[in-house]
Structure 1
Amino acid sequence: MSTVTTKPGLAQRLAALTKIVELGPGRLEPKLLAEASTLLNRAGERLKLSSEHTVVALAGGTGSGKSSLFNALSGLELSPTGVRRPTTARTHACVWGLEGAAPLLDWLQVQWRHRFARASALDKGESQLHGLILLDLPDHDSIRALTDTEADRLIGQADLVVWVLDPQKYADASTHRRYVTELAGHEAVTVFALNQADLLSTEELAELVIDLNDLLRREGVEHPSVVPTSAVTGRGVDSLKSVLAGAVSRRRSAIQKLEADLHRLEQRLAETMPVGEVLSAPSSVDEARRLGLTDALCDAVGVPAVGEAMENVYAERSMRWVGWPYSRWVAKLRPDPLRSLHLEDVSDEIHGITTSSVSAQTAETVNAVQALADGLSAGMHPVWRTSVHHAARSRSAQLPKALTEDLAEVAPRLDRVPGWWWLLKVWQYVLVAAFVLGLAWLAVGVFFPGRAPLGIQLLGDTAALPWVGLMMASVLGLGALSGIASRNFVELGASRERERLEREMRRRVAAIAETMVVEPVERELGRHHAFYTAMNNLAR
């Protein structure tokens, strides 16, 4: 048994529909998804079964003469015809060429007792029908819900459908509303048999054929195939057999039916989600938006403020630690103009920063994430726009805490005193002590020459005192210069530390943004791109 050979285009379209069904939950209507899944299952099962057989279903309403036409086509009394109420309750099948047909009949769920094979002796002159599986379906307008459902199922599974219409009810609203209006694009696998032609005159039949063609075209069947038949007189039966023989010989009805079903489903999908959107929507987060998100989150967590505070605090505290002590003491004696204005001491405000910690502002992080999602989803279908926003916000509740905890590890304590500040302070106070000792030395030498220190006595002459004074002046100058140089070193070091700190904090913010915002968004953008790529492939 050979399976149906698909064209490359059909295989690609089925693969595209598989991708759409995979990505569709939550984005497509459940009913549409269910229809797509059903079509995929039906296509997969049909393509695995015999390609040597063409399944033709005779469908029609009660009293249309469908079973009589089935018997006329098969040449045997296989399907019972009702007298009082001509209703077909179960599907009957007649097979021309039984080999390999059993799995296909099993798939169609035709009961064994309702399967019939044309014996070779009876097939004389009908070899062109070899490979035909003809089904007589239950009436689609039956009052029995079970048979009605079975008819609907087999109409969908058949490779070609012959609609048997009678002259009285050929424009029956239930048939046209439920089935005919859904046949647009299925002309190649649909035939209309205007049965019971024996009840009409030649003129009446011609008028009905014209009227039926016009009706079908108005309902979207562009090129209807209408065959007048009569199961009683045999009129048109050979013509209908020729139509079926052509379908069987081409061995293409199964493929054409699937292609038509795919085309109809693709149109419904395109109405729901226009395919053109894939051309403009991004498939990933570009570098500019990544940088924009990082900038916004850095502002939310206060990275620039932390760097600036560190510089300000270092500058203010350096005056207390590495400035020349004499200059500080003299500055305290001068009046402070700010105090005369009753303003707070700026140094007290700066000092308060030293006990603060890094903290991300929730509202600002939410705004940053929202701005990213808005920019990426602009122009998308509302369903996908919502899904992109949902992906962006999927971890937004944890984002402020993650930023705060991670940046707290690198943010320096602004009340920390570097070790080299201690060394500078010790050095400056050594100079202060040296100046004080020298001053005391000179005072004793000048005012108490008889009690001059041993150092002056060793000099042997008080004439050396000016040199001592010069050395003391040099100590003052050295102290002042070291204070200025120290403060410059502190400010330069603070500037470099600020750059290093902001760079490291920014790197960590970018890493957190990538993990908690960008990656979920890019996964959703990837789904969006894959979905619309599949939609494009399905439309080919």
Structure 2
Amino acid sequence: MTTPLATRGALVPRLAALSKVVELGPGRLDKKILSDAGTLLLRAGDRLKLSSDHTVVALAGGTGSGKSSLFNAVSGLELSPTGVRRPTTARTHACVWGLEGAAPLLDWLQIQWRHRFSRSSALDKGESQLHGLILLDLPDHDSIRALTDPEADRLIGLADLVVWVLDPQKYADAATHRRYVAELAGHDSGTVFALNQVDKLAPEELAELVIDLNDLLRREGVSQPTVVTTSAVTGRGIDSLKSVLADAVTRRRAAVQRLESDLDRLVRRLDPPGEAPASVDAARRVGLTDALCDAVGVPAVGEALENVHAERSAAYVGWPVTRLVSALRPDPLKALRLDDLREEIQGLADGAVTAQPAEVENAVQALADGLSVDMQPSWKAAVQHAARSRSGQLPQALSEELEEVAPRLGFVPGWWRAVQVWQYLLVAAFLLGFIWIVASLTGIPTGISLVEDPASLPWVGIAMASVLGLGALSSVAARNFVVLGASKERERLELEMRRRVGMVAEGMVVEPVERELARHHEFAQAMHTLRR
């Protein structure tokens, strides 16, 4: 039989959230907390599968508190042995009001068959309000016997409601309060305190003890303690205790309230994971790509490509006459230090240029720090570890990617060669005109009447000047087109390199970080559900 939806409706989502916390917590939460959370999940799962028509109430107390006598007084039968010998109760006894459906629950509690007792219908007359009660008489929690303390501890943890039976002479006993009461702070609805053997006290002593006990419990975190004064000898307070038990049995909520209280206590031990985005935003992705491009030297490579491309084109589209004059001057490549840039580009083509590991590490660290600044330390460390998980392979991966887009320095556009042929034709025309003039001035016979006609010389001179101007003009126009083309090629190269750097960064840095951020986000949502 399962717990009714009305009582478990708010508990099930919290247990599911706790399961998620246990799933996501390893490496980020204390191992003891994870272990306790796992134990609570197992206990909650087991208890919610078992009878919701029964409420398990454990009578717990120290040696000599009169716990077994109180058990007999409530049950109305001499079920649990009492006497001078201490401890008297070595094994847990159970009295069940309404045995139907209780057997699996008693098996889960590990109550031996010979220590299970059922109230018959004849004895239950007038006590129908207790139907569904399973009353346990636990071994003394402070017993010197080796077997009794673990038994008491186990059942105190499993019971839906715990009634602490206190001796007037030892009601403030440190063993009880330090080991149990203080640990159960916040379990107000699942804990009752029975100040027993009050027949030994005068009325004014009893009033003083009740006030003192209430004050003590509040100091230990029990904000609204339920204290009942009882005497198994005189029967005083037994009906009051039965009334408290009947209320818990009737409401059928003790099991759920106990689990809710245990959840609340566990949640107070959990540190919030802190604030963080659920994913890496576009601005941080761009920032990481920019930093990695700087580490690879993408801007410098693009600039070097543009300069070398422009200078290299001079051999094809430059005006030969100008190159001849420039040959008498210092080498412009050396003056501009472009030889080194050319070597850099060639090195990139050969795969020799690599990313700087230190700069790559700094770029990755900056991303992790920016994302985890408001996280709890263990989660912050997890994000940083995820970001650096493949940082050792990142420089090599970047270099290998860029090898595929390295510029082709040996490629010569067809229009460069066309311009070169055109300019050499102009040079040939200029030389032909020069020969024409020389032949005309020196009178060297050529057999061509036009050449030997002095009247044609001015036109030849004009033609030669036009050839020189046309050559220079075509060279300037061609160089402008080269510069424009080099700029576009640089832009294309840098965009492609950035795209590839971004792809590598996405796979080796962003994706591991986003998995950790998603884990943190799920954990934070589970914590939010747990704290409801």
Common fold by TM > 0.5: yes
Equivalent-residue separation in structure 2 for 1:374 and 1:75 (angstroms)? 68
Equivalent-residue separation in structure 1 for 2:202 and 2:21 (angstroms)? 53
Amino acid at match of 2:340: E
Deviations along 1:127-177, one digit per CA (max 9) or x if unpaired, are 111000111112211233433222112111111000111122211101100
Q: After superposition, where does 1:57-76 map in structure 2 within 5 Å? A: 57-76=58-77
Q: Secondary structure at the match of 2:60?
A: strand
User: Where does residue 103 of structure 1 map in the other structure?
Assistant: 104
User: Where does residue 300 of structure 1 map in the other structure?
Assistant: 295
Equivalent-residue separation in structure 2 for 1:351 and 1:301 (angstroms)? 17
> How many residues in Structure 1 have an aligned counterpart in Structure 2?
527
Equivalent-residue separation in structure 2 for 1:4 and 1:148 (angstroms)? 34
**Is 2:13 aligned against 1:3?**
no
Query: Shift of the alpha carbon at 1:373?
Result: 1.4
User: Where does residue 306 of structure 2 map in the other structure?
Assistant: 311
* Aligned with residue 423 of structure 2, among 422, 428, 431: 428
Amino acid at match of 1:25: P
Q: After superposition, where does 1:357-368 map in structure 2 within 5 Å? A: 357=348, 358-368=353-363
User: Where does residue 503 of structure 1 map in the other structure?
Assistant: 495
Deviates further, 417-426 or 223-232: 417-426
Structure 2 residue runs without a partner (length 5+)? none
Equivalent-residue separation in structure 2 for 1:235 and 1:296 (angstroms)? 80
User: Where does residue 340 of structure 2 map in the other structure?
Assistant: 349
User: Where does residue 185 of structure 2 map in the other structure?
Assistant: 184
Structure 1 contact 355–415 (Cα < 8 Å) conserved: no
**Is 2:394 aligned against 1:394?**
no
Amino acid at match of 1:427: W
Deviations along 1:371-394, one digit per CA (max 9) or x if unpaired, are 111111112211222112111111
Q: Report the RMSD for the aligned CA atoms in angstroms.
A: 2.4
User: Where does residue 376 of structure 1 map in the other structure?
Assistant: 371
Q: Secondary structure at the match of 1:152?
A: helix
Q: After superposition, where does 1:83-232 map in structure 2 within 5 Å? A: 83-232=84-233
Structure 1 residue runs without a partner (length 5+)? none
- Residues 188 and 373 from structure 1, CA distance in 2 versus in 1: closer, same or farther, beyond 3 angstroms? same
Amino acid at match of 1:405: E
Structure 1 contact 94–134 (Cα < 8 Å) conserved: yes
**Is 2:488 aligned against 1:491?**
no
Q: Secondary structure at the match of 1:179?
A: helix
Structure 2 contact 445–452 (Cα < 8 Å) conserved: no
Equivalent-residue separation in structure 1 for 2:195 and 2:29 (angstroms)? 39
**Is 2:423 aligned against 1:405?**
no
Equivalent-residue separation in structure 2 for 1:537 and 1:205 (angstroms)? 44
Q: Secondary structure at the match of 1:94?
A: strand
TM-score, structure 2 length as denominator? 0.92
Q: Secondary structure at the match of 1:355?
A: helix
Structure 2 contact 383–517 (Cα < 8 Å) conserved: yes
Query: Shift of the alpha carbon at 1:441?
Result: 5.0
Amino acid at match of 1:407: L
Deviates further, 48-57 or 231-240: 231-240
- Residues 4 and 80 from structure 1, CA distance in 2 versus in 1: closer, same or farther, beyond 3 angstroms? farther
Deviations along 1:323-342, one digit per CA (max 9) or x if unpaired, are 011111112224x4999xxx
Query: Shift of the alpha carbon at 1:31?
Result: 0.8
Equivalent-residue separation in structure 2 for 1:132 and 1:478 (angstroms)? 113
Q: After superposition, where does 1:9-48 map in structure 2 within 5 Å? A: 9-48=10-49
Equivalent-residue separation in structure 2 for 1:288 and 1:387 (angstroms)? 22
Q: After superposition, where does 1:464-475 map in structure 2 within 5 Å? A: 464=456, 466-475=458-467
Structure 1 contact 353–414 (Cα < 8 Å) conserved: no
**Is 2:527 aligned against 1:526?**
no
- Residues 345 and 20 from structure 1, CA distance in 2 versus in 1: closer, same or farther, beyond 3 angstroms? closer
Structure 2 contact 401–500 (Cα < 8 Å) conserved: yes
Q: Secondary structure at the match of 1:86?
A: coil
Deviates further, 406-415 or 459-468: 459-468
Query: Shift of the alpha carbon at 1:442?
Result: 4.9
- Residues 432 and 350 from structure 1, CA distance in 2 versus in 1: closer, same or farther, beyond 3 angstroms? farther
Deviates further, 514-523 or 123-132: 514-523
Equivalent-residue separation in structure 2 for 1:11 and 1:110 (angstroms)? 28
Query: Shift of the alpha carbon at 1:463?
Result: 4.7
Query: Shift of the alpha carbon at 1:199?
Result: 2.8
Query: Shift of the alpha carbon at 1:268?
Result: 1.9
Amino acid at match of 2:169: Q
Structure 2 contact 55–132 (Cα < 8 Å) conserved: yes
Query: Shift of the alpha carbon at 1:71?
Result: 1.8
Amino acid at match of 2:198: A
